[in-house]
Structure 1
Amino acid sequence: MSLLARLAPHLPYVRRYARALTGDQATGDNYVRVALEALAAGEQQLSTDMTPRVALYHVFHAIWSSTGAQLEDVSGVDGRTDASSRLLRIAPRSRQAFLLTALEGFTPSEAAQILSADARDVERLIAEAQSDIDAELATDVLVIEDEAIISADIQSLVKELGHRVTGAATTHDEAIEAVARHKPGLVLADIQLADGSSGIDAVKEILKDMDVPVIFITAFPERLLTGERPEPTFLITKPFQPETVKAAISQALFFHPSRHKQAA
C-alpha cells in the first residue's frame, strides 16, 4: 500500500487540527503539505511504534516544532471564529495538548507520543488549558438532575471551575421555569427525571428559544444516541468521573460558536 493510501483516511483530521492550531486553514494546510513532502522525500519517517494516525500527527509536530515561531505570528489573519481567537490566546504547548485530546479525541498517552512528551506533562498542559478556558468563559449553569446527591456533586464541580449555578431542576417543568427566571449559558441534564418526565424533552424546549451548549449526564445513553436531533455532542455516562465532567464543561463552552457572542 502506498504512503498516500495509508494516510488518506487521516488527512481530513490532521487538516482540521492544523487549522485549529494555527488559526487559519491556508496556514494549516501549508504545514500539512510540508509534512507530507518530508515523508515522501524520506526526511521524516512514520514510526512503527505508533498507529498510522498517531504517527502522522507526530510527523506534523516535528515540522511544526522546527518552524513553530512562524505559526504563532498569525495576528493578521481575518475571519477567525471566536474559538480560533480564544485558542491563540492559550500558551502553544497547552493549546496542542488540549486540541489533541478535546478536538481530535486522542488519549493523553497518545498525545504524549505525538508531542514527544511525558503523559503526566500532557495531563498538566490539558489542565492549564482548561483553567484558561474556564476563567475566560465563566457562565451561568442550569443543572437538571433529580437525584439530590448527584445534583449536589455536579453543582460542586461547576463551582470549582468558576461557574455559577443559577438553577437546579428535578423535573421538566422546573427546568422550563428555571430558564424563564434566568437564561443559562450551559445546561447539564439527566434524561429520566423525578416525576417521570424527560430531560430530553426539556432540553428540546429550551433549545427552541435559545442556542446554548448542553451536556447530558445519564445512566441511559442509548436513549440519546438515536440519530435524531438534538443528538448530544457531549454525553457522559453515569457513574461519572469528576475530571470527565470538568473536561466536558470546558470543551462545551469553548467550542460552542454562539456562547462567546451571548456573553459579550
Structure 2
Amino acid sequence: MSTSQLVAQHLPFLRRYARALSGSQAAGDAYVTALLETLIADPGTLAPDIDPRVALYRLLTRLWDSVTLNAETEQAPAPVQGERRLSHITPVVRQAFLLVSLEGFNEEDAAAVLDIDVPTLRNLVEDAGRELAEEIATDVLIIEDEPFIALDLEGLVESLGHRVTGIARTRTEAVELARRKAPGLILADIQLADGSSGLDAVNDLIAQVEVPVIFITAYPERFLTGVRPEPAFLIAKPFQPSTVAAVISQALFFERRARPREQRATA
C-alpha cells in the first residue's frame, strides 16, 4: 500500500483526533495538513518499523507538540461541551486520554504514539480522570456484590473526584438507592448476590433517569455479541484501575446525558 493510500485510509480518524486535541475542526485540519506536507516532502518520515496507524498518530502528535498553527477563523464555531471540558486538561494528559478513549488504542500502542512506557501512560490516563472530574464531577452508584471489589471501586471513584451515593448488592437495593438519590453514573456488575441481574437493575434505573452505565463483569463475552442492545461500556474482571478510570472518563466525557454534580442538584 502506498503512503497516500495509507494516509487516506486513516485520514478521517486523524482529523477527529486533531480536532479533539486542538478544540476546533479548523485548527485540527491545519495540523493534519502539516502532517500531509511533511509526508509529501519526505515520505521516509513515517517510521517503517512500526504499525502504520501508530506511526501516523505518532507523527501527528509530534507536530502538535512542536508546532503552533494559527488556524483560527473569524467564523470559527464555539467548541461543543465536550471540547470545552477537554480544553482545560493538561496537553499530554489530553493526548493520552484521547488515544485510549476516543481512538481506541491499546495501552502499548498509545504509549508508542507518545513515546513513553505503559506505566507512564496509565498514570496520564488516571490524571485525565481526575482533571475531567473537576469539570464534570458526578454522583456514582455502584452495583457490586463482592465487598472487596466494591470497596476498590469506591476508592477509585472518589480518587477521581466523584462521590459514591451508595453500594448495592442486589437489584432491589440498587433501585432503592437510586430512588433516594439519582446517580450521574452507574458502575454495575451483572451477576448479583441474590441471583438477580445487574442488567435488569440497570434497565429499571434507566427507565427512571437517563445516565451512562459501565458494566463490570467476569463474563464480557456473553454480552459482546454484536446484537443490540448490548452494553456500551464494558470492563472485564479482573480489571486494571487505570482501565476503569479511563472508561469512567470516557463515559462522562462523551455521553451527552452526563451532567456535573452541581447542575444535577438543581435540575
TM-score norm. by structure 2 comes to: 0.86
Deviations 1:45-102 (A, max 9, x none): 210122100111122123323423647x799843422110011111222211221222
For residues 119 and 150 of structure 1, the distance between their equivalents in structure 2, rounded to whole angstroms, comes to 24
SS of the aligned residue for 1:243 comes to helix
Partner of 1:45: 45
Partner of 1:146: 145
Kept in 2, the 8 Å contact 1:22–1:28? The answer is yes
Bigger relative contact order (CA 8 A; separation at least 6): 2
Partner of 1:33: 33
In structure 2, runs of 5+ residues without a counterpart are: none
SS of the aligned residue for 1:68 comes to coil
TM-score norm. by structure 1 comes to: 0.87
Partner of 1:251: 250
Kept in 2, the 8 Å contact 1:82–1:260? The answer is no
Count of matched residue pairs: 263
Structure 1 residues 75, 61: closer, same or farther in 2, change over 3 A?
farther
For residues 239 and 16 of structure 2, the distance between their equivalents in structure 1, rounded to whole angstroms, comes to 29
Give the CA deviation at 1:258. Answer: 2.2
Kindly report which structure 2 residues correspond to 1:168-247, keeping only aligned pairs within 5 A, or say none. 168-247=167-246
For residues 85 and 251 of structure 2, the distance between their equivalents in structure 1, rounded to whole angstroms, comes to 14
Letter in 1 for 2:167: A
For residues 96 and 87 of structure 1, the distance between their equivalents in structure 2, rounded to whole angstroms, comes to 10
Kept in 2, the 8 Å contact 1:141–1:163? The answer is yes
Structure 1 residues 77, 208: closer, same or farther in 2, change over 3 A?
farther
Kindly report which structure 2 residues correspond to 1:73-92, keeping only aligned pairs within 5 A, or say none. 77-92=76-91
Deviations 1:172-215 (A, max 9, x none): 22222221111001100011122222111221232233221111
For residues 43 and 189 of structure 1, the distance between their equivalents in structure 2, rounded to whole angstroms, comes to 48
For residues 246 and 114 of structure 1, the distance between their equivalents in structure 2, rounded to whole angstroms, comes to 20
Between 1:181-190 and 1:194-203, the stretch displaced more is 194-203
In structure 1, runs of 5+ residues without a counterpart are: none
Partner of 2:65: 65
Kept in 2, the 8 Å contact 1:167–1:178? The answer is yes
Identity %: 51
Letter in 2 for 1:14: L
Partner of 1:137: 136
Partner of 1:15: 15
Aligned Cα RMSD in Å? 2.6
SS of the aligned residue for 1:226 comes to coil
Give the CA deviation at 1:143. Answer: 1.0
